[in-house]
């Protein structure tokens, strides 16, 4: 296939508004703005990626993602996208943190390598097959009555696992869990996510009582930085504990498993900085005997598709929280990619190259900036070579 070079990178804003705000213990989302990256190589192949900023979870806004991309894109331009590991390491060497921006570029590079090689990303990552995978669906914080009604509707729509947002007040949270279990019956799996909302003592108080309702696991009962607290709760909880906000990076994963602070770790591409780092986190967790979940932020179905490819390839991922990109207003991918049907995430075409996007709704994108690799090797855009 000869020389392959990334010759153009363009960045775009993509704004959408949810019909119902999504509420968790530490805040809510109504309007969301994603940053979408499009890479082009010298043969005209295109690779797509998405950054999903979150001020409270990821410390990022759309503007910080754009500023980070301004530093990162010059390290990608002119390079062979097949040097994935090298390029991802290089991004970490020129800029600390800013995982969502790195995730967008890592994703776009994977999609591009898929186009260059003709392989789907799940196979590039070493996956053995691409069967549909079950996913949960999340019920956001609301009154116990409304949450129970929403859970019932999800079961009617085919979901066999419901994730319940809690972490507001232990007594009210217990009522939420009780009413939802009553509404959905015993044949539906329930998992809960406190999003750092409880103190250590509140967590143990609630979890001991919630054990009556057959809860699969609890995500992030206490503050993200409180690794000792996570371990403390885990020792006293009858319900297994999953680390989410406590594990962003590969180093975080190592710290949490060494502290024996979690039974499970939730991986998200936006926390990890993309597929490459997600694989590394899964490897550390697998070595420690800690299975993973793959989850996401409030994202479009573009980055949701990347998460599905990761789920298909990574054997240590045993739980899927991939209720991402299912709302019409988040469906930036018009044809191809992944989609949800009857509680499962499926690829539209398991053998199409890269992430398998056939049509992106480019009319929804607001162009911000285009960077080009020039004939003489000089870099255009705001950052000099
Ligand atoms: Mn979570």
- What H or E segment, with its residue span, contains residue 369? strand 366-372
For this structure, is 268 an active site residue? Answer: yes
Q: Using CA atoms, how far apart are residues 66 and 138, in angstroms rounded to an integer?
A: 29
User: Residue 140, Cβ neighbours under 10 Å: how many?
Assistant: 18
DSSP codes, 28-62: EEEEEEEEEEEEEETT--EEEEEE---HHHHS--H
**Model confidence pLDDT, tens digit, residues 198-230:** 999 999 999 999 999 999 999 999 999 999 999
Task: Copy the structure tokens of residue 271.
Answer: 């926390």
Distance of CA 194 to the CA centre of its chain: 18
Q: Using CA atoms, how far apart are residues 197 and 199, in angstroms rounded to an integer?
A: 7
How far is the centre of ligand 1, averaged over its atoms, from the C-alpha of 13 (Å)? Answer: 25
The correct answer on CATH 3.30.390.10 for the domain covering 6-119+359-383 is yes
Instruction: Give the pLDDT confidence score for residue 48 in this predicted structure.
Output: 99
**Model confidence pLDDT, tens digit, residues 166-186:** 999 999 999 999 999 999 999
How far is the centre of ligand 1, averaged over its atoms, from the C-alpha of 28 (Å)? Answer: 13
The pairing of strands 6-24 and 366-372 is antiparallel
Q: Which is catalytic among the residues 32, 102, 163, 268?
A: 268
Q: Which is catalytic among the residues 32, 102, 163, 165?
A: 165
How far is the centre of ligand 1, averaged over its atoms, from the C-alpha of 193 (Å)? Answer: 6
Q: Give the CA angle between residues 327, 330, 336 to the nearest 5°.
A: 95
Contact 38, 47 (CB under 8 A): yes
Would you say the CATH fold of 123-353 matches that of 6-119+359-383? no
CA distances from 29 to 140, 198, 368 (A): 10, 20, 23
DSSP codes, 264-321: EEEEEHHHHTSHHHHHHHHHHHHHTT--EEEE--S--HHHHHHHHHHHHH-TTEEEE-
For this structure, is 20 an active site residue? Answer: no
Instruction: Give the pLDDT confidence score for residue 1 in this predicted structure.
Output: 64
Instruction: Give the pLDDT confidence score for residue 384 in this predicted structure.
Output: 38
Task: Copy the structure tokens of residue 25.
Answer: 């213990």
How far is the centre of ligand 1, averaged over its atoms, from the C-alpha of 244 (Å)? Answer: 5
Task: Copy the structure tokens of residue 132.
Answer: 């549909």
Instruction: Give the pLDDT confidence score for residue 383 in this predicted structure.
Output: 45
Phi–psi pair at 346, nearest 5 degrees: -130, 150
CATH class label, 123-353? alpha beta
Which residues, in sequence order, are CB contacts of 243 under 8 Å at separation 6+?
A: 219, 220, 230, 256, 261, 262, 264, 265, 266
Residues of the chain with pLDDT under 50: 375-385
The domains of the chain are located at 6-119+359-383, 123-353
Q: Using CA atoms, how far apart are residues 371 and 381, in angstroms rounded to an integer?
A: 5
Contact 176, 190 (CB under 8 A): no
| pTM of the predicted structure, to 2 decimals | 0.96
Q: Give the CA angle between residues 205, 206, 208 to the nearest 5°.
A: 70
Partners of 120 in beta bridges: 354
Task: Copy the structure tokens of residue 187.
Answer: 């044949």
């Amino acid at each position: 296939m000869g020389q392959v070079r990334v010759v153009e990178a363009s960045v775009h804003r993509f704004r959408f508004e949810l019909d119902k705000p999504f509420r968790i213990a530490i805040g809510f989302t109504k309007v969301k703005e994603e940053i979408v990256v499009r890479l082009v190589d010298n043969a005209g192949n295109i690779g797509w990626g998405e950054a999903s900023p979150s001020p409270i979870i990821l410390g990022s806004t759309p503007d910080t993602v754009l500023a980070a991309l301004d530093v990162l894109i010059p390290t990608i331009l002119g390079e062979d996208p097949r040097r994935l590991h090298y390029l991802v390491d290089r991004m970490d060497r020129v800029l600390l943190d800013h995982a969502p921006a790195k995730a967008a570029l890592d994703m776009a590079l994977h999609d591009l390598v898929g186009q260059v090689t003709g392989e789907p990303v799940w196979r590039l990552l070493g996956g053995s097959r691409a069967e549909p995978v079950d996913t949960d669906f999340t019920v956001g914080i609301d009154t116990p009555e409304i949450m129970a009604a929403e859970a019932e509707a999800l079961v009617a729509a085919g979901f066999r696992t419901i994730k319940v947002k809690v972490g507001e007040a232990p007594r009210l949270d217990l009522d939420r869990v009780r009413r939802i279990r009553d509404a959905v019956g015993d044949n539906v799996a329930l998992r809960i996510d406190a999003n750092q909302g409880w103190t250590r003592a509140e967590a143990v108080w609630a979890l001991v009582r919630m054990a009556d309702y057959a809860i699969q696991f609890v995500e992030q009962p206490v503050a993200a930085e409180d690794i000792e607290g996570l371990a403390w709760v885990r020792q006293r909880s009858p319900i297994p504990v999953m680390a989410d906000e406590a594990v962003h990076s590969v180093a975080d994963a190592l710290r949490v498993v060494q502290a024996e602070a979690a039974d499970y770790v939730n991986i998200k591409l936006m926390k990890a900085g993309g597929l490459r780092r997600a694989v590394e986190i899964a490897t550390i967790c697998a070595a420690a005997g800690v299975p993973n979940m793959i989850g996401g932020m409030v994202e479009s179905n573009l980055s949701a598709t990347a998460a599905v490819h990761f789920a298909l390839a990574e054997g240590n991922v045993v739980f899927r929280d991939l209720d991402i990109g299912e709302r019409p207003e988040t469906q930036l991918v018009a044809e191809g990619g992944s989609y949800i049907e009857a509680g499962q995430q499926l690829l539209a075409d398991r053998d199409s190259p890269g992430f398998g996007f056939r049509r992106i709704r480019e009319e929804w994108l607001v162009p911000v900036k285009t960077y080009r690799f020039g004939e003489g090797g000089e870099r255009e855009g705001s950052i000099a070579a």
